[in-house]
C-alpha cells in the first residue's frame, strides 16, 4: 500500500523537501495551504494517512480506552520511513505534523534516528504512544507548538508530548499560544523564524 500525496514542486533549484502530515479524521488537503511557507526551492508533499477514519484518515486507530493501535502506528512509521527514503535525494527533509500527524513527525524521526532529516515540527500533538528508549533524537531540532485552550489535545497532554520529545534528546524550541486546536498566524511566523535559524 503506497501513501497518497499532494505535491507542490519547487519553482527554483531544489534545496529541501517538506512532508506535511495531517491529523486524525482529516486528509492530505488539510495542510496543503502551508506549502508556500517553505519557499520556492522546496518540494512539498502533503501525505494522506493510510487508515480510514470518519470522513477522513488516521495514522493509527484508538480503542475504547483511548489506547493507540501500536501495530497501525508501526505500519505508518514504516510507510513514512520508506517515503523519506524515496524523496531524500531532493535534499534534507523537514517533517511537519499537526495533531496525530505531529506524533508521526517525531515518531518517524526517532525511528530513523534523524537520518536524512533536517527537522521535525510537532503542532498540537498528543503524546507519542510507546516512545523508544534512549536518545534517538539527540541534538535534532524540533519545533513544538500548542494552544493553551486546545479542547482536543488539552494542555497537560501537550506538555507530556513536550516532555517525551525532550527525553528523546531533541533540541526543542517550545511555543505556547492562546488558541484552540489550530495553527495560528503567530505560530507560522515563529516557525519561519525558527526554520531560518536552523
Active-site annotation holds for 99: yes
Active-site annotation holds for 181: yes
Active-site annotation holds for 150: yes
How many C-beta atoms surround the C-beta of residue 120 within 10 A? 30
Cell numbers at 8, concatenated = 507542490
Annotate 164-177 with DSSP letters as a single string: HHHHTT-EEEEEEE
Candidates 46, 99, 122, 124; catalytic one: 99
Instruction: List, in order, residues 6 or more apart from 124 with CB less than 8 Å away.
Output: 23, 98, 99, 102, 145, 146, 147, 150, 152, 153, 158, 181, 182, 183
Candidates 35, 81, 181, 190; catalytic one: 181
Question: Which residue(s) pair with 120 in the sheet?
Answer: 95, 142
Question: Which residue(s) pair with 97 in the sheet?
Answer: 21, 122
Closest C-alpha to 19, from 49, 46, 1, 51: 46
How many C-beta atoms surround the C-beta of residue 8 within 10 A? 18
Helix (H, G, I), strand (E, B) or coil at 17: strand
Return the active site residues. Answer: 99, 150, 181
Amino acid at each position: 500500500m503506497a501513501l497518497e500525496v499532494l505535491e507542490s514542486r519547487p519553482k527554483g533549484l531544489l534545496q529541501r523537501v517538506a512532508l506535511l502530515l495531517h491529523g486524525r479524521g482529516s486528509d492530505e488537503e488539510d495542510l496543503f495551504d502551508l506549502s508556500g511557507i517553505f519557499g520556492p526551492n522546496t518540494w512539498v508533499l502533503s501525505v494522506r494517512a493510510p487508515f480510514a477514519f470518519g470522513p477522513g484518515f488516521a495514522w493509527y486507530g484508538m480503542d475504547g480506552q483511548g489506547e493507540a493501535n501500536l501495530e497501525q502506528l508501526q505500519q505508518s512509521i514504516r510507510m513514512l520511513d520508506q517515503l523519506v527514503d524515496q524523496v531524500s535525494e531532493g535534499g534534507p527533509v523537514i517533517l511537519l505534523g499537526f495533531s496525530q500527524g505531529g506524533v508521526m513527525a517525531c515518531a518517524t524521526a526517532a525511528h530513523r534516528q534523524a537520518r536524512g532529516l533536517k527537522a521535525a515540527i510537532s503542532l498540537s500533538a498528543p503524546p507519542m504512544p510507546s516512545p523508544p528508549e534512549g536518545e534517538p533524537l539527540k541534538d535534532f531540532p524540533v519545533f513544538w507548538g500548542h494552544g493553551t485552550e486546545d479542547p482536543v489535545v488539552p494542555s497537560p497532554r501537550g506538555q507530556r508530548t513536550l516532555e517525551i520529545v525532550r527525553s528523546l534528546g531533541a533540541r526543542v524550541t517550545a511555543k505556547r499560544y492562546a488558541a484552540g486546536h489550530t495553527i495560528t498566524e503567530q505560530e507560522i511566523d515563529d516557525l519561519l523564524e525558527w526554520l531560518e535559524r536552523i
